[in-house]
Amino acid sequence: MKERPPPGPPKEAIKIDDITVEIPISYKKGMQVPARVIAHPDLMAAMDSGVFNQITNVATLPGIVKYAYCMPDGHWGYGFPIGGVAAFDIEKGGVISPGGIGFDINCGMRLITTNLTADEVKPKIKELVDTLYKKVPAGVGCKGFVKLTKEEFKEVMIHGAQWCVKNGYAWEEDINKIEDNGKIPQADPAFVSDKAVSRGFNQIGTLGSGNHYLEIQEVKEGNIFDTEAAKAMGITGPGQIVIMVHCGSRGMGHQVGTDYLRQFLEIMPKYGIEILDRELACAPFNSPEGQAYYKAMACAANMAFVNRQVITHRIREVFSEIFGKTAREMDMQLVYDVSHNIAKLEKHIVDGKEKTLLVHRKGSTRAFGPGRFEDLPEEYKKTGQPVIVGGSMETGSYLLAGTDGSDETFASTAHGSGRTMSRSQAKREVKGDELQKDMEKRGIYVHAVSTRVLAEESGKSYKDIELVVDSLEAAGITRRVVALKPIGNVKG
């Protein structure tokens, strides 16, 4: 049996700076561009060898430009590593690959502010979390409260979060705080299979399973790093309570990915495409098959925007019920909603020329800086785009801001801490019931579908978020705004 290579970059890797290594095109036959991995030295040394193998495989795909990137949260994924970023020139045979987007299409995060304080919320934290658990279904196969026919679901796929405004699940100002205003315009339900629709039309307003969560968080003293940006994003000071949501397109996105992966494996020979890993199955973006997948992907992405928006509606209802105030009285504003499993058509500079590229972000997040002010809400034109980076349910998360330095990485940054161990290993090493009791002693009340899920999602299962954020700042692609600490969590 072949021995697995040790963790860390291959010996051929070249150190670019303190947090970046480059693997040259000479490393592997077929590489079109070098691969770059951005990470603190401690994270880099511990990174699974599979990450370096996968990101150099990505570098062989047709039409890729500049570099294949992996962010500091990088770990083994399907085709692309989680934390992978790659951009393709669509006028030069650039491809679209489901493995570079992920099965949970438009899995993403959003942050909601309140004017409530920790002193007001902590005495009611159990009631809050338990009620949210009832109102926002979690776990595999759970169904939502929004009842639609499959025909009505087409409107969701076409209009995304903008459908929510018309149907009473969103405030009009919410839409401006969602990436792409909550709607990928190329969506066309004609390219979504009946099976994918069947798996998605009754799951709106559900968290799902795995690492998805709904978390109540506190802004602690000393954890505001950029006062001006924090104020623009609705963070007023220590003791403030905010809510973070992490979920995606549920079964629909998984089915769309599955449908087109099978098709792409069959049609690649027609386009003369050879790949090193069947998980990187792809098609030229401008081909009929590539366009069909993109339109289907957009439908799943729009469903995910709706899913997070309907969950936001439920959160506002629950807080109103428990605190006896309206959501507006509690100033429950959406800070931003970011996608981190998606492919987007964006303009970027390559070799001094502006090009329209298809940017794949797999477990990574868009991070537009102030230089892209035309693409940002008025509130964020000076600060840069809010970036939400999830940590673990034990350690907390970060609100960051995009910088113009992110242009180097196709305006991309990390999406979270990134796993350090498999779910099976975590279950062997952690007892979920004991963890639950220990967290409650530490002031974090969690309600999960099972103690098994808690074991899988323990803090030791994830990288040190401080090192991840340090890496992003050192690379100049995002900067700290606020650190957020958990006090209550609903886990799928």
* DSSP string of 122-183, one letter each residue: GGGHHHHHHHHHHHS-BSTT---S----HHHHHHHHHHTHHHHHHTTSS-HHHHTTBGGGG-
Q: Any bridge partners for residue 112, and if so which? A: 243, 334
To 10 degrees, the CA torsion angle through 480, 109, 337, 195? 160
Q: How far apart are the first and last CA of the chain?
A: 37
- Residue 334 CA to residue 337 CA, distance in Å, equals 8
Spatial CB neighbours of 134, under 8 Å, sequence gap ≥ 6: none
3-state DSSP assignment of residue 324: coil
Identify the helix (H) or strand (E) that includes residue 364: strand 364-366
Q: Where are the alpha helices (DSSP H) in 219-287?
A: 227-232, 250-267
Query: Burial of 195 by CB count in 10 Å (0-12 exposed, 13-18 middle, 19+ buried)?
Result: middle
- Residue 310 CA to residue 94 CA, distance in Å, equals 35
Catalytic residues: 415
β-pairing, 397-402 vs 240-247, is unpaired
β-pairing, 95-96 vs 82-89, is unpaired
- Please say whether the beta carbons of 465 and 389 come within 8 A: yes
Among residues 210, 214, 203, the alpha carbon closest in space to that of 142 is found at 203
Among residues 250, 259, 251, 254, the alpha carbon closest in space to that of 191 is found at 259
- Please say whether the beta carbons of 327 and 170 come within 8 A: no
